[in-house]
Structure 1
Amino acid sequence: MALVLAVVNQKGGVGKTTTAVNLAASLAAHEHRALLVDLDPQGNATSGVGIARDQADRTTVYHALLGEADARSAVLPTEVPNLFLLPSSTDLVGAELELVSMEERELRLRDALEALRDAYDYVLIDCPPSLGLLTINALVAADRVLVPLQCEYYALEGLGSLLRTIDLVKGSLKPELEMEGVVLTMFDARNNLARQVMKDVQTNLPGQVYDTVIPRNVRLSEAPSHGRPAILYDIESKGAQSYLQLAEELLQRHRAAAAQLKHA
């Protein structure tokens, strides 16, 4: 049964899609079957793994959300062994309006993904950069929430809004939803502000910030334009190595948690 992670931050440009794509690819490289769900109408996770956006007559996550197709029929293989994609569509732009009038509108993605969970070890949902109905669907479908956070001045302010939304979802829709953790992205160790933000986040969220930090890296930022995760574009780059390390840290955390449960 797959562990479902919602990769969420309502701010754009913080490394959300980069994290969803490269963490999913890195988990696949660690020989875990991973499904990347592109819930962002921009479709950058879709193109980021080399799948053209909005091909005519293609079944997408949009059709699965609206109950027009089985999500299994929309899944595509990628160039990375063990990595699969449930692609986005620009139709998602209007999906929130279409969902508003539907019964159990917040549960649509959870129900759509249910049939897929046995086929994968990890499902990563790349959420839109907003806290609207699509993101709420992702949070309800998820077991845990992973927050990429850029080390910048307003980082903690934005994080507060997101944590309040997560608490609302826990309170009314998904009591068992948990924080997976915070991943610091686009980190520049030469920058005093970045180092201070890192310290503040670690102080405010003790035990929830990953040790692995994703640096600013040219090769990492180039990879999406070539339709390849960083491990395929340049596996020796600092960006690719950081995401492989992040995947290993995540796996170690989960192994430790499973062992603790076993001996409880």
Structure 2
Amino acid sequence: MVSLANQKGGVGKTTGCVNVGRMLADRGYSVVLVDSDPQANAGIHLSVDVVACEDAERTLYYVLKGAAKAEECLVETRNPRLRVLPSSLKLAESETELAAQQFSHNTLRSRLVELRRSVDFILIDCPPTLGHLVTNALVASDTVLIPCQTQPLAFMGMGTLRRQIDFVRERGNPTLSLLGIVPTFYSGRTTQDQATLKDMHDTYGQEVHIFPPIPNTTLYPQSSAGGDALVAFNAKAPGIGTFDLVVQTLIAERDRRIVPAGHGVMTHG
């Protein structure tokens, strides 16, 4: 189980989730994308009718409340091996509700126990906060992937997210690993992007794997209008090579952690 997390919005978390998820599914793996952002962009990107899911009370909000099982809420995408546990605006209420519960940081992990036994990968698209929804995602996850825009403000927020990851390791998930950082919206023609990318490598390159940058292109947002990941339309689009490296790294991480009994899931420890 992997969280794509960054407290800053617009850095490419959803883009990463839908493309990595689709690429894993295209390789034959069973994948569930958990949309943990009340904006529900991941589901919308993949043509999920999030309004209908909310009306039927089959979203992550109801899973967290214990009113629905995760398996009952899954929606198939154009590749049936990739399914979505959808979100809705109502999920924003979970922040307050989780805050009022004791040991609430374990809620998502406990709600996904059965699901993670039955699928190969679970990807969590985290909201742009450091609140209870993100903490729940990190506690439930085996590893974290951090998309980070090659802009100074996005880069400066990395330290805060790293401290949140360390906090979760100390309090609830000691085996949580950091899969790497994916620089996004990179323009090699601007000195600011070049300088920020260099700062990433200088600051974190010795301890964290930094993937090749995803270039700034309009192709990714345009693909959402087609109701699928960009890789489904253009397998040679700029940046797809980086997502392929992420996929390879995730598969290697899964193989390292896989349960000897043969369950096709990543598991703690």
**TM-score of the pair, normalised by structure 2:** 0.88
* Matching residue of 1:145: 144
Aligned CA distance change for structure 1 residues 132 and 41 (closer, same or farther; 3 Å)? same
Q: CA distance change for structure 1 residues 231 and 46 in 2, over 3 Å: closer, same or farther?
A: same
Match of 2:264 in 1: none
- Residue 254 of structure 1 and its aligned partner are, at CA, apart by 5.5
Do the aligned residues in 2 keep the contact of 1:66 with 1:99 (CA within 8 Å)?
Answer: no
Task: Tell me which residue corresponds to 1:125.
Answer: 124
In structure 2, do the counterparts of structure 1 residues 91 and 184 end up closer, same or farther at CA, with 3 Å as the change threshold? same
Residue equivalent to 2:203: 204
Does the 8 Å contact 2:147/2:183 carry over to 1? Answer: yes
Structure 1, 155-164 or 241-250: larger mean CA deviation: 241-250
How much has 1:58 moved relative to structure 2? 4.2
2:28 alignment partner in structure 1: 31
Q: Secondary structure, in 3 states, of the residue corresponding to 1:79?
A: coil
Matched letter for residue 26 of structure 1: M
Asked whether 1:179 is paired with 2:178, we answer yes
Offset of residue 120 of structure 1: 1.4
List per-residue Cα deviations over 1:72-92 (Å, max 9, x = no partner): 111111102421111112111
Distance 1:212 1:33, change over 3 A: farther
Q: Deviations over 1:15-68 (max 9, x none)?
A: 111111111111212222111000000000011111122212141111111111
**1:262 aligns to what?**
none
Which residue type is aligned with residue 142 of structure 2? D
Task: Call closer, same or farther: CA 1:250–1:197 in 2, change over 3 Å.
Answer: farther
Instruction: Please say if residues 219 and 234 of structure 1, whose CA atoms lie closer than 8 Å, have aligned partners that are also in contact.
Output: no
Letter in 2 for 1:114: V
Q: How far off its partner does 1:148 sit?
A: 0.2
Mapped contact 2:149–2:155 kept (Cα < 8 A): no
Aligned identity (percent) is 33
Is 235-244 or 89-98 further displaced after alignment?
235-244
What secondary structure does 2:147 align onto? strand
Check conservation: 2:5, 2:128, Cα contact below 8 A: yes
Equivalent residues, number: 255
Structure 1 equivalent of residue 218 of structure 2: 218
8 Å CA contact 1:220, 1:239 repeated in 2: no
Residue 6 (str. 1) matches residue 3 (str. 2): yes
5+ long unaligned stretches in structure 1: 260-264
Supply the distance in 2 between the matched residues of 1:33 and 1:212 (Cα, whole angstroms).
26
- 1:9 alignment partner AA: N
Q: Which residue of 1 aligns with 2:193?
A: 194
Offset at residue 101 of structure 1 (A): 2.3
Q: Indicate the larger mover: 63-72 or 225-234.
A: 225-234
Which residues of structure 2 form unaligned runs of 5+? 259-269
Aligned to 1:77: 76
Paired AA for residue 128 in structure 2:
P
- Alpha-carbon distance in structure 1 between the residues aligned to 2:10 and 2:105: 26
Work out whether residues 37 and 87 of structure 1, in 8 Å CA contact, stay in contact via their aligned partners in 2. Answer: yes
The worse-fitting range, judged by mean Cα deviation, of 117-126 and 241-250 is 241-250
Q: Verify: 1:162 aligned to 2:150, yes or no.
A: no
Kindly tell me: are residues 149 and 135 of structure 1, through their superposed partners in 2, closer, same or farther at Cα, counting changes over 3 Å?
same
Distance between the aligned counterparts of 1:35 and 1:240, measured in 2?
Answer: 20
SS at match of 2:79: coil
Kindly indicate whether residue 44 of structure 2 is the aligned counterpart of residue 47 of structure 1.
Answer: yes
Indicate the residue corresponding to 2:98 in structure 1: 99
Question: Match for 2:88: what amino acid?
Answer: S
Shift of 1:185: 0.9
Partner residue, 2:16 = 19
Tell me the distance in 2 between the aligned counterparts of 1:258 and 1:74.
27
Q: Are the aligned partners of 2:7 and 2:161 in contact in 1 as well (CA < 8 Å)?
A: yes
Aligned-pair Cα RMSD in Å: 1.9
Which digits, 9 at most, give the CA deviation of each residue in 1:105-132, with x for residues without a partner? 1111000111111221111100110000
